[in-house]
Structures are given as structure tokens and as C-alpha cells.
Amino acid sequence: MSVVDGTSMRAYLAQPQESQARAGLLVCQEAFGVNAHIRDVTDRLAREGYLAVAPELFHRTAAGFEGAYNDFGAVVPHVRALRDPDLEADVRASYSWLRENLGKSDVPIACVGFCMGGRVSFLTNSILPVKAAVSFYGGGIAPNPMGPGMLERAGNLHAPQLLFWGGLDKHIGPEQTQAVADALRKAGKPFVNVDFSDADHGFFCDARPTYNPAAAQQAWALTNTFLECHLGV
């Protein structure tokens, strides 16, 4: 798909096999790219009846990039090269593609993101009229040693926000998760804040050593219920 800055972005697409899509979903990748895990999640969402698209957010530096979970060093240059204006352009392009391909203008669109994509899902909610947004362990929403965060966007959210955290996550500590909740509460925005006390960062991904089957199963069920409630499907 074409992005407003003149770049071209590939995306992984999954759609319902036997029925009309009941809603559109923007699936925001981890820092490790649109890899097998993200493609699998996108496929699972399509089986739930959604037209789901996962754009390659590293398309400016490494189109097709898939990093190994045990080699974060290879990921760092691409993460550091990301700029919020570029991400905004990418999610706007993805949203427009979904809107054009859903057939009817009143079909709702939501976003779901993991790790780095959890932050992108929050960003998307702040700039686009999505009907629901889900963030799995989204580092960088709150201020941290890597950056200033984006809590100033809390007042701009268009839709209810579901946030998942791992209580054992050493990258996103309780001071950060509390800061996100406090900002949303202060802004008067509807949100659901879920902390799995015995789960670590990346607990939803079955390709990571931190995979937590019980937390992943509960998070998936709540994600589907959350989307159904707020998308009206």
C-alpha cells in the first residue's frame, strides 16, 4: 500500500473464509517484525470474522525483516529509526486500506498491538476513529529510559483501550503501568487495565521462552470479548 510520504508498505492480510468481515482490524507488529507469530495472530483474528491487516512498520529500513527473539541487537537499529510521524502515516494508510476494502462505510475498525505494536495501537487510538484498541505489553506508552512516552495523547483517545501487562516484566515496571492508568483516568477515558502477576514480557507469544499459556488464553478471551462489546459485532 502507498503511504503519504511516498514510500510503499507491504502488509500481511488475513480475511474470513466463509463470510463477510464483521469488522476491520489493524494488527501492529512486535519489534521483531511481521513474523510467524504476528502472522498467526492475524490469521486467528480472521477466523474470528475480522478482516485483519498487519503492516510492515520497518518498511523504510528493512522491508520483510523478521528478527530472531534471541537477537535483539539486530532489531535495535530499526526500532530507533522509527519516528512517530512516520508511524502515524503508516497506520493512516492501513486504516484507509481497511476502510476501502470493508465494503461499507459503517463497518467498524479496531487495532491490536504487541510489544512495540502495543505502543502503536495506543498511538493509533489517539489519531484515528477506531472503535476499540488493545495493547499487549506496550513499552514506551509511559516515559522510560528510552524515551518520553506519549501520555500527553491520553486525552485524544477515540475509543476504549484494553491494556495487558506482565507483572514480572523487567522492561515495563509497575511505575510505568500505573502512569498509563493514571493518565487515562485523569483524561476521563474508558479503559481496562489487566496485570498478570505471574507473567513476563511477551507472555502471549508461544515462540518466546516467556510464553505463559494460562495468561495467553485469558488475554485472548478478554480481547475477543472486548472487541465484540465495543465493535457491536
**Does residue 97 belong to any structural domain of this protein?**
yes
The pLDDT of residue 18: 76
**Does residue 5 belong to any structural domain of this protein?**
no
Please name every residue paired with 22 in a beta bridge, in sequence order, or none if there are none.
Answer: none
pLDDT range class, residue 104, cuts 50, 70, 90: confident
Catalytic residue status for 205 = no
**Which residues lie below 8 Å from residue 109, measured CB to CB, with a gap of 6+?**
23, 24, 25, 26, 95, 98, 99, 102, 128, 130, 131
Percent of the chain that is helix, strand, coil (3-state, to 5): 40, 20, 40
CATH number assigned to the domain comprising residue 160: 3.40.50.1820
Catalytic residue status for 115 = yes
Looking at the 3D structure of the chain, how many domains does it have? Answer: 1
**Does residue 150 belong to any structural domain of this protein?**
yes
**Does residue 89 belong to any structural domain of this protein?**
yes
Catalytic residue status for 78 = no
Which one is catalytic: 59, 115, 205, 230? 115
| Span 194-209, pLDDT tens digits | 999 999 999 999 999 9
Which one is catalytic: 169, 200, 205, 230? 169
User: What is the mean pLDDT of the segment spanning 72-99?
Assistant: 96
**Does residue 4 belong to any structural domain of this protein?**
no
Which one is catalytic: 59, 201, 205, 230? 201
Averaged pLDDT of the chain:
97
**Does residue 111 belong to any structural domain of this protein?**
yes
Residue 143 · residue 230 · CB < 8 Å: no
Q: What are the Cα distances from residue 233, in Å, to 22, 42, 61, 170?
A: 6, 18, 37, 36
**Does residue 91 belong to any structural domain of this protein?**
yes
By residue range, what is the domain housing residue 42? 11-231
The pLDDT of residue 233: 75
pLDDT range class, residue 112, cuts 50, 70, 90: very high
pTM greater than 0.75: yes
The pLDDT of residue 9: 98
Res 105 pLDDT > 90:
no
Total residues found in the chain within this entry: 233
**Does residue 72 belong to any structural domain of this protein?**
yes
pLDDT range class, residue 103, cuts 50, 70, 90: confident
